[in-house]
């Protein structure tokens, strides 16, 4: 039961930040509400007052700026799926957006909200880890930029201060020499929470990675990068052997738990399977170029 | 006279055109009022306190604090139940509100009526229950041990049964091959879209109950037993129920609403959450089935030995009859020289198992059809050919001694399956993978499902009435739970009356109409429709007889159409049905009866088998198996049912598609996770049912049949499609990757583990 909650709807980011500057712990920011409403009903979070920023169109955009793709925090997954900019310059983020919830949630849910909710199984995060994205956090006293990898501290724990709002996420636009892939293992095709997800970004020369980033979702308290697997891949000629070794190495970065969706043992195995399949798919994309 | 008119006028011999559902517009535009939509002036809200434990003694229940909370009008416990404190249609052993002990999470302890929903829920939380936890018994083998804690005074065996034909041991000795395996099937939740709830009020000594339900007169009976109100003073309205698959035959919520309404003398509404509904609704029996199957070297099935352990949970519900159907279905539509089938229905603290679409048949089918496929493998025979050689054809006699009647049966569905592109091209289709880790497979299974209550007596009555303004009303009690029986009844009446289907007003799902049973056992159309057809024919005969007097012509010279009787050679000489009814006193009410044909006696050792009417199906499934993750995607299902005559093709196919998807859930997705008898997967986020993205192309190819035992030629199709899907998918997985899973649901993790084990 949701009970009684007071909702304040600011007309601008500045109004929102002003309101937030003198708010206490019981005040929560709400955007699409696809996570928060359920958590309030189930009493997983508590709020006596909500600041509803969903109408702040100034935070809803996808644009190119000096080689960077910049995405406003209130941009929905549907916006990302439909945008020519993300389709061309961040295809793995588009792939992941398509797997989030169902169409209704893609229409309603926002990328900023996916950050704020801070679930290790959040599907937009592995691609943003792989893209080495940076998050902008704003408060009345100014704004700061935090690398995505440093933003989340654990399940539902982030570096976000009580007076701050997530306003933007940005990353370097992908070009034709770079490939990305997002693979998700869920228990059904749509409306499924990830058992394991993997995002891979690679900068490719011939049949090797010049640089590669591998991010794993739902297998640790936060999304994690597997730097040892990345290191193993850089500069080496592609082969099934190499992909298998790297996939095995990547599983060492995972510290999964057992829950109703899968056992820890299965998740570890699935990291290997998905990283291997992801590398295979990148090679396939290069072949088809 | 009636027979003569029927023959002359060839009543009900044509096929019906495609029909729009009579209830579709109201359901689309929101005008339809489901039980949980009901509201009344001065209404209170009800809430119920469920058990915290799967097994515990209750030391004390203290409601004082709750009763003092603002807005609270009543707090009830078992002390407020004036008569029978247990419910259950077969054996009342489930407390409506528990007093000394809870035996599963589905148990309820107290209920509240308050001014608002929030107040009612707050009051429920304020009720103090002092529990003494007991060991939680969930494993069936453990429950059978002599030293196991007894869940009921008589022990943990709800029912044991054994039926035998011939001498299986002798046949095993002469067999060429014997295949033996033990299969396990999981809990499947029902999850009708409308959660439990509704409204009740008590006025001038009459109790009115509007809740989701399936058998109105059974609901009335149980309410009467416990509330000490004569059945005639209880009016039950289940129509339209927002989906039901069996669990709404049990009625914990209706009983609690009734108690609260009588206690407060105010209308009381309840509308439970998905989690609460899941907690107190019956689910599909988890089973463990061992089968030993023998065939000779020519590929003839010989002997079949079956041992069924059915986990019926904490109370009887429909455990004994589910076991019966499981036993009947465990031998399938096959010819055996000998069978030996024994079954246990076992009490545990594993929630509440009960009636659920398929009623024991889906579990039996997983085991049986896997056995048949494994046997064909061992013989090196094509599984479809193997089935063709072994099924009971029309005119032949089943192992239970029943002669297959009708126009078509299981054999005809196999002939149809053989002609499908998927079956013909399966070798080529298997080569179509574009990823090294994806393997494609095609599998097959067959199914049967009894229609109705088997050897149990079942008599139905339906009403048709006509007023002198020409309006026609039919009343048939089976509830419209989404399956389309209202449209079926309108179609039957309109065809016999030869009028537009929109002329017929249909009343179903309540106790204001005669008792034609309920929406259960795939029989709403066959049983209710047959009673209605008999009523409608009788009505037409009476109208023709009266018109003959009014037009001064013999009946042979008359014909009728569009609610008018006219002279065949002189159509301008006519009289309307309305005028005829006027002459007969202003209203013509005719009741029709239908005695459901049944076996003369049940097989010794059984309660109600055999059924003498079965629907049949063959199924072909195509899957893709990801060998690196264990994920199975169903790419195609071809479902070929024979369920007698099809009177509304769209509705028939709709039922089949829904059942196929529910069968996919049972076979692949729906994995209920428990901890100490507490269900962890109790909503749509955690309990995975197939969603739109998972649903493949589904072809439904009905085989034209005709069931001669009733006036309509129909059988029933409601449960059939859920039966053979899991087994066809398991066979397709085997075709793809060479492993036969002995367990459903075949979750990715289970398949992955088995693939690892294999290599």
Q: Which residues contact B333 (CB under 8 A, 6 or more apart)?
A: B391, B392, B398, B409, B410, B446, B447, B448, B614, B616
pLDDT band at B13 (very low <50, low <70, confident <90, very high): very low
Nearest CA in chain B to A272: B628
Residue B14: what pLDDT? 53
Percent of chain B with pLDDT over 90: 89
Measure Cα distances from B438 to B348, B431, B508, B624 in Å.
Answer: 41, 10, 49, 6
A266 vs B681, B691, B752: nearest CB: B752
CA distance B506 to B146: 54
Nearest CA in chain A to B117: A1
Q: Are strands B234-237 and B268-271 parallel, antiparallel or unpaired?
A: unpaired
**Cis before B360? omega within 30:** no
Name the B residues in 121-150 with CB < 8 Å from any A CB.
121
Residue B1: what pLDDT? 52
Distance between start and end Cα atoms, chain B: 75
The A-side interface with B (CB below 8 A) comprises 1, 3, 38, 102, 185, 187-193, 195, 260, 262-263, 266, 269-270, 273-274, 276-277, 280
CB contact under 8 A, B669 and A260: no
Mutate to test the interface with B, among A38, A104, A260 (most CBs of B within 10 A): A260
Q: Phi-psi region for residue A67, left (φ > 0), alpha (ψ -120 to 50) or beta?
A: left
With 60 as the cut, is the pLDDT of residue A1 above it? Answer: no
Tell me if B564 sits within 8 A of B489, measured CB to CB: no
The three-state secondary structure class of B56 is strand
Query: pLDDT digit string (tens) for A12-58?
Result: 999 999 999 988 888 999 999 999 999 998 888 889 899 999 999 99
The three-state secondary structure class of B236 is strand
CB contact under 8 A, B629 and A270: yes
Query: Could you report the predicted ipTM of this complex, rounded to two decimals?
Result: 0.95
* B118 at A interface, C-beta within 8 A: yes
Tell me if B260 sits within 8 A of B276, measured CB to CB: no
Residue B7: what pLDDT? 53
The runs of H, that is alpha helices, within B30-98 are: 64-68
Chain B residues within 8 A of A262 when measuring between CB atoms: 749
Residue B216: what pLDDT? 98
CB contact under 8 A, B691 and A190: yes
- pLDDT, mean over chain B: 95
Instruction: Give the helix, strand, coil percentages of chain A, each rounded to 5.
Output: 35, 30, 35
Number of A/B CB contacts below 8 angstroms equals 55
Number of neighbouring beta carbons within 10 Å of residue B52 = 14
The nearest CA of chain B is from the CA of A189 a distance in Å of: 5
The nearest CA of chain A is from the CA of B52 a distance in Å of: 17
pLDDT band at B4 (very low <50, low <70, confident <90, very high): low
Taking the C-alpha atoms of B627, B630, B636 and B639 in order, what is their torsion angle to the nearest 10 degrees? Answer: 130
Residue B209: what pLDDT? 98
Residue B699: what pLDDT? 98
pLDDT band at B5 (very low <50, low <70, confident <90, very high): low
Mutate to test the interface with A, among B682, B685, B695, B756 (most CBs of A within 10 A): B685
Which range among A41-45, B640-644, B716-720 shows the weakest confidence by mean pLDDT? A41-45
CB contact under 8 A, B631 and A185: yes
CB contact under 8 A, B681 and A192: no
B749 vs A192, A266, A277: nearest CB: A266
Query: pLDDT digit string (tens) for B507-557?
Result: 999 999 999 999 999 999 999 999 999 999 999 999 999 999 999 999 989
Nearest CA in chain B to A183: B629
**Cα-trace Rg, chain B:** 27
Token readout for B684 is 């749509």
How many CA atoms are closer than 13 Å to the CA of B490, on its beta-carbon side? 23
CB contact under 8 A, A266 and B118: no
pLDDT band at B759 (very low <50, low <70, confident <90, very high): low
Pick from B528, B487, B480: nearest CA to B242: B480
CB contact under 8 A, B690 and A188: yes
The nearest CA of chain B is from the CA of A125 a distance in Å of: 20
Residue B549: what pLDDT? 96
What DSSP element (H or E) covers B303? Answer: strand B301-313
CB contact under 8 A, B692 and A1: no
Query: pLDDT digit string (tens) for B574-614?
Result: 999 999 999 999 999 999 999 999 888 888 888 888 898 99
Mutate to test the interface with A, among B119, B120, B191, B629 (most CBs of A within 10 A): B629
Query: pLDDT digit string (tens) for A78-135?
Result: 999 999 999 999 999 999 999 999 999 999 999 999 999 999 999 999 999 999 999 9
Nearest CA in chain B to A41: B273
Pick from B345, B275, B336: nearest CA to B309: B345
Chain A residues within 8 A of B680 when measuring between CB atoms: 260
Chain A residues within 8 A of B688 when measuring between CB atoms: 187-188, 192
Percent of chain B with pLDDT over 70: 97
Q: Are strands A196-205 and B268-271 parallel, antiparallel or unpaired?
A: unpaired
The three-state secondary structure class of B718 is coil
A260 vs B629, B680, B691: nearest CB: B680
The nearest CA of chain B is from the CA of A266 a distance in Å of: 7
Token readout for B211 is 């809740």
Residue B535: what pLDDT? 96
Nearest CA in chain B to A265: B749
Residue A4: what pLDDT? 80
* B170 at A interface, C-beta within 8 A: no
At B710, give phi and psi (nearest 5°). Answer: -125, 170
With 90 as the cut, is the pLDDT of residue B394 above it? Answer: yes
CA distance A169 to A61: 11
Mean pLDDT of A253-281: 97
The nearest CA of chain B is from the CA of A225 a distance in Å of: 21
CB contact under 8 A, A1 and B118: yes
How many CA atoms are closer than 13 Å to the CA of A166, on its beta-carbon side? 32
Tell me if B219 sits within 8 A of B254, measured CB to CB: yes
């Amino acid at each position: 039961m949701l009970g009684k909650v007071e909702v304040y709807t600011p007309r601008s980011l500045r109004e929102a930040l002003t309101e937030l500057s003198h708010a206490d712990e019981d005040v929560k920011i709400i955007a699409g509400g696809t996570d928060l409403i359920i958590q309030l009903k189930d009493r997983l979070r508590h709020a006596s007052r909500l600041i509803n920023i969903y109408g702040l169109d100034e935070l809803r955009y996808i644009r190119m700026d000096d080689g960077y793709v910049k995405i406003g925090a209130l941009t929905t997954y549907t916006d990302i799926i439909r945008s020519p900019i993300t389709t061309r310059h961040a295809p793995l983020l588009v792939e992941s957006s398509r797997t989030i919830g169902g169409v209704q949630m893609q229409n309603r849910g926002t990328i900023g909200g996916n950050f704020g909710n801070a679930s290790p199984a959040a599907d937009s995060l592995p691609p943003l880890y792989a893209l080495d994205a940076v998050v902008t956090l704003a408060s009345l006293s100014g704004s700061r930029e935090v690398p995505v990898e440093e933003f989340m501290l654990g399940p539902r724990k982030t570096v976000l201060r009580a007076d701050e709002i997530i306003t933007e996420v940005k990353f370097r636009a992908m070009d034709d020499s770079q490939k990305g892939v997002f693979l998700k293992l869920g228990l059904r095709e749509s409306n499924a929470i990830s058992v394991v997800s993997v995002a891979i970004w690679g900068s490719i020369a011939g049949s090797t990675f010049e640089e590669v980033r591998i991010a794993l979702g739902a297998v640790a308290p936060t999304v994690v990068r597997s730097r040892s697997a990345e290191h193993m891949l850089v500069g080496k000629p592609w082969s099934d052997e190499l992909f298998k070794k790297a996939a095995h190495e990547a599983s060492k970065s995972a510290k999964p738990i057992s829950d109703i969706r899968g056992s820890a043992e299965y998740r570890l195995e699935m990291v290997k399977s998905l990283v291997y399949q992801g590398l295979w798919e990148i090679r396939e994309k290069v072949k088809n170029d | 006279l009636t027979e003569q008119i029927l023959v002359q006028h060839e009543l009900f011999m044509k096929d019906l055109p495609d029909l729009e559902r009579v209830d579709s517009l109201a359901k689309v535009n929101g005008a339809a009022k489901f039980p949980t939509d009901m509201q009344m002036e001065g209404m209170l809200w009800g809430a119920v306190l469920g058990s915290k434990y799967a097994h515990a003694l209750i030391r004390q229940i203290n409601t004082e604090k709750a009763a003092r909370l603002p807005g609270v009008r009543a707090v009830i416990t078992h002390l407020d139940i004036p008569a029978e404190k247990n419910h259950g249609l077969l054996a009342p052993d489930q407390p409506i509100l528990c007093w000394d002990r809870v035996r599963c999470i589905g148990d309820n302890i107290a209920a509240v009526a308050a001014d608002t929903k929030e107040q009612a829920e707050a009051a429920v939380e304020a009720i103090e229950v002092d529990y003494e936890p007991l060991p939680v018994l969930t494993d069936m083998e453990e429950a059978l041990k002599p030293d196991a804690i007894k869940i009921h005074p008589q022990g943990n065996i709800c029912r044991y049964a054994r039926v035998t034909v011939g001498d299986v041991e002798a046949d095993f000795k002469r067999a060429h091959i014997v295949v033996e395996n033990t299969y396990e099937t999981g809990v499947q939740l029902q999850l009708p879209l409308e959660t439990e709830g509704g409204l009740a009020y008590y006025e001038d000594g009459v109790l009115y109950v509007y809740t989701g339900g399936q058998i109105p007169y059974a609901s009335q009976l149980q309410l009467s037993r416990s509330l000490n109100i004569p059945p005639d003073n209880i009016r039950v309205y289940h129509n339209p129920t927002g989906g039901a698959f069996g669990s709404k035959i049990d009625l914990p919520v209706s009983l609690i609403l009734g108690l609260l309404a009588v206690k407060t003398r105010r209308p009381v509404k309840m509308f439970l959450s998905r989690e609460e509904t899941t907690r107190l609704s019956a689910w599909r029996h988890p089973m463990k089935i061992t089968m030993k199957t023998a065939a000779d070297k020519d590929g003839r099935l010989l002997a079949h030995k079956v041992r069924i352990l059915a986990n019926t949970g904490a109370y009887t519900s429909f455990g004994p009859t589910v076991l019966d159907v499981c036993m009947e279905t465990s031998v399938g539509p096959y010819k055996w020289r000998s069978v030996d089938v024994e079954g246990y229905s076992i009490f545990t603290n594993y929630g509440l198992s009960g009636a659920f679409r398929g009623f024991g048949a889906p579990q039996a089918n997983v085991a049986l059809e896997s056995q048949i496929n494994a046997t064909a493998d061992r013989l090196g025979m094509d599984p479809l050919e193997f089935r063709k050689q072994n099924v009971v054809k029309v005119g032949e006699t089943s192992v239970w001694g029943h002669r297959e009647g009708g126009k078509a049966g299981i054999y005809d569905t196999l002939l149809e399956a053989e002609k499908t592109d998927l079956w013909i091209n399966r070798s080529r289709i298997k080569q179509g993978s574009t990823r090294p880790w994806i393997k494609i497979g095609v599998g097959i299974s067959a199914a049967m499902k009894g229609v109705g209550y088997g050897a149990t007596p079942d008599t139905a009555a339906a009403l048709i009435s006509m007023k002198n303004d020409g309006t026609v009303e039919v009343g048939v009690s089976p509830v419209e739970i989404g399956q389309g029986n209202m449209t079926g009844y309108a179609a039957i009446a309109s065809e016999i009356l030869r009028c537009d289907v929109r002329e017929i007003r249909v009343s179903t799902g309540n106790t204001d109409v005669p008792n034609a049973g309920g929406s259960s056992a795939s029989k709403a159309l066959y049983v209710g429709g047959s009673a209605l057809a008999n009523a409608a024919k009788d009505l037409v005969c009476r109208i023709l007889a009266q018109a003959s007097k009014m037009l001064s012509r013999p009946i042979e010279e008359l014909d009728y159409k569009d609610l008018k009787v006219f002279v065949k050679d002189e159509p301008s000489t006519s009289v309307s049905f309305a005028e005829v009814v006027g002459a007969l006193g202003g209203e013509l009410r005719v009741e029709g009866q239908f005695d459901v044909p049944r076996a003369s006696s049940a097989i010794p050792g059984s309660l109600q088998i055999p059924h003498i009417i079965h629907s049949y199906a063959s199924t072909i499934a195509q899957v893709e198996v990801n060998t690196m993750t264990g994920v199975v995607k169903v790419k195609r299902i071809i479902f070929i049912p024979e369920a007698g005559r099809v009177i509304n093709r769209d509705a028939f196919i709709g039922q089949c598609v829904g059942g196929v998807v529910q069968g996919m859930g049972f076979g692949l997705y729906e994995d209920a996770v428990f901890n100490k008898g507490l269900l962890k997967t109790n909503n749509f986020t955690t309990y995975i049912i197939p969603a739109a993205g998972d649903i493949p192309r589904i072809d439904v190819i009905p085989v034209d049949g005709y069931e001669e035992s009733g006036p309509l030629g129909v059988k029933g199709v409601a449960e059939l499609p859920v039966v053979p899907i899991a087994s066809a998918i398991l066979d397709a997985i085997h075709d793809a990757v060479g492993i036969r899973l002995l367990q459903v649901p075949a979750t990715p993790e289970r398949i992955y583990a088995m693939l690892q084990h294999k290599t």
